[in-house]
Chains A and B, each alone.
Chain A
């Protein structure tokens, strides 16, 4: 992480973590580290083991085997001193409906020796206008903001965010992203789980992909699945008057043709575009929907999880 002193030990260390529920293996030999001040995202389909992993790191569950350390603590045995230094946004955590936002955040602030300012925290999550509102009157998005406020008010060094923007509308999600990204200024280490790939792309310094209890890939969002070095995709709609067979030879492999939607994979997009547009101009046709793109994070993620699913790995 840029700016983090090199001598600091990792905030989170997970080594060969395994968790069984009876005969079901939810997490199987997962190892990773999260550096201080880093935002690390765990991605994966439902049942991949993300939430189990995070709940072990939070101290809510005990591992079957393996080792986990958060800020040097064993989360299951760290007690109050450990929990003074972390914040948790649960995937689904309850709040007292009859308290006001101010009362809720104030109550949680009272648990910590060095809390953040209550009013500033409420302001930070965008609920200043609702501070006197009863919790039961908040919308789904506002409740998630309150979740964030409750996790932040203790001034955590490590923040666990389990799908923090689920239920947000697009504007609220972007606001939340800005808020989470702003925590970098405090040096907060963040472990994030999410289904939203754009969220991971926007926020995470590194991403680990989990599938069937395994960590199947770990990378930066830009390099996930090798997409930083993968070929470029050139796509367009074939004019109705032409057939795919009429496309000229060029610096590309066999194009994919899906009902006239042509996709070309190439490592030389400039030459491909030059050849293609020269040919189109010569034919007097317009290439509708002409785009040049690298494989998206979604493409890489789907390929990784598909590969893991078909790789014959058992368990959850």
Chain B
């Protein structure tokens, strides 16, 4: 028996924009989300600059004032919070509380939901990075190198894409909402510490530097930091770093395709 009548559906891009607005509204009304995405990076920028006001940081392209290093570094941390931590915590909560299952029963296509999520992660990233840079320039005499801002934006764009996909992929492995935040920060913070997000790792042991380089945080953070270094005159992310970022993104996309679920409960693979 064929379907008898077909109703038209609302355009997908319109639904995606609605989802962006909805996710932003939820974040603004969530004290935890607001704290994670906007307050923590700002606190880090201020407190680390206060602790090390005159320290110099050794970057891949030469020595810099610490604030000149830390401002783009904390910007990278903003991307991690906005795209990875927030995605893991809020999506696991939505799934385990049955919100995703309810949405699945509506005409909202899966891609518009994920598109809305990624759009809101992009907006939050832009806002939080802007706050960090404005604070760095206003209070810590950070200089913006306008000729390198294209590199900064491109590296940030890669980071937003990769961290968001990894965040969605990780939700498939987190079974309960109360474990989402520990899992998110338990994976992010160790990587951040070895990936030039808080301190330069130029003088770190080779094995630690190489270990960090195998994960996507370091290539993104180092490229964003290089865009604030006057010695940078070309695209600062090496091919190996780009390969790592794209490789992790692709792996995350595969994991999402195989294991993303709308219903509460443990991981289930879509294998046929």
**A residues apposed to B, CB below 8 Å:** 9, 13, 58-60, 69, 71-73, 78, 80-86, 88, 90, 92-96, 98-99, 103, 107-108, 110-114, 150, 154
Contacts and interface: CB of A to CB of B under 8 A. Distances in A.
A202 B99 CA distance: 31
Interface stretch (B8-16, B194-202, B217-225, B237-245): B8-16
Interface in B1-21: 1-10, 15, 18
Nearest to B112: A111
Contacts of A95: 99, 102
Given A60-B104, A60-B263, A72-B2, 19 more contacts: A9-B4, A13-B1, A69-B1, A71-B4, A80-B107, A81-B3, A82-B3, A88-B105, A90-B98, A90-B101, A90-B102, A94-B94, A94-B97, A99-B25, A110-B18, A112-B106, A112-B107, A113-B107, A150-B102
B105 A111 contact: no
B26 interface: yes
Contacts of B102: 88, 90, 93-95, 150
Contacts of A96: 26, 94, 99
Given A59-B105, A94-B102, A112-B107, A81 B9 contact: yes
A84 B105 contact: no
A94 B1 contact: no
A99 B105 contact: no
Interface of B: 1-10, 15, 18, 22, 25-26, 29-30, 94, 97-99, 101-102, 104-109, 263
B7 A60 contact: no
A110 B25 CA distance: 15
Nearest to B10: A113
- Indicate the member of B5, B10, B15 with the most A CB atoms within 10 Å: B10
A4 to B, nearest CB: 14
A9 B98 CA distance: 33
A99 to B, nearest CB: 7
B3 A80 contact: no
B107 A111 contact: yes
Contacts of A9: 1, 4
5 contacts: A80-B9, A93-B101, A94-B97, A107-B18, A107-B22
Contacts of B15: 110-111
B113 to A, nearest CB: 10
A88 B10 CA distance: 19
A99 B101 CA distance: 18
Contacts of A69: 1
Contacts of B109: 80
Contacts of B99: 93-96
A186 B255 CA distance: 44
Contacts of A80: 9, 107, 109
A93 B29 CA distance: 21
A114 B6 CA distance: 12
A60 B100 CA distance: 12
B108 A111 contact: yes
Given A72-B1, A90-B105, A111-B106, A85 B98 contact: no
Nearest to A78: B3
Contacts of B108: 111
A99 B26 contact: yes
Nearest to B102: A93
A251 to B, nearest CB: 53
Contacts of A90: 98, 101-102, 105
A84 B1 CA distance: 19
A108 B9 CA distance: 13
A99 B99 CA distance: 13
A38 B24 CA distance: 41
Contacts of A99: 25-26, 29
Contacts of A112: 10, 106-107
Given A60-B105, A83-B107, A93-B102, A113 B94 contact: no
A301 to B, nearest CB: 29
Contacts of A107: 18, 22
A247 to B, nearest CB: 58
Contacts of A71: 3-5
Nearest to A151: B105
> Top 7 nearest A-B pairs by Cβ distance?
A94-B97, A94-B98, A98-B29, A94-B99, A72-B3, A88-B105, A93-B102
Contacts of B9: 80-81, 84, 113
Contact of A86 (B8, B101, B105): B105
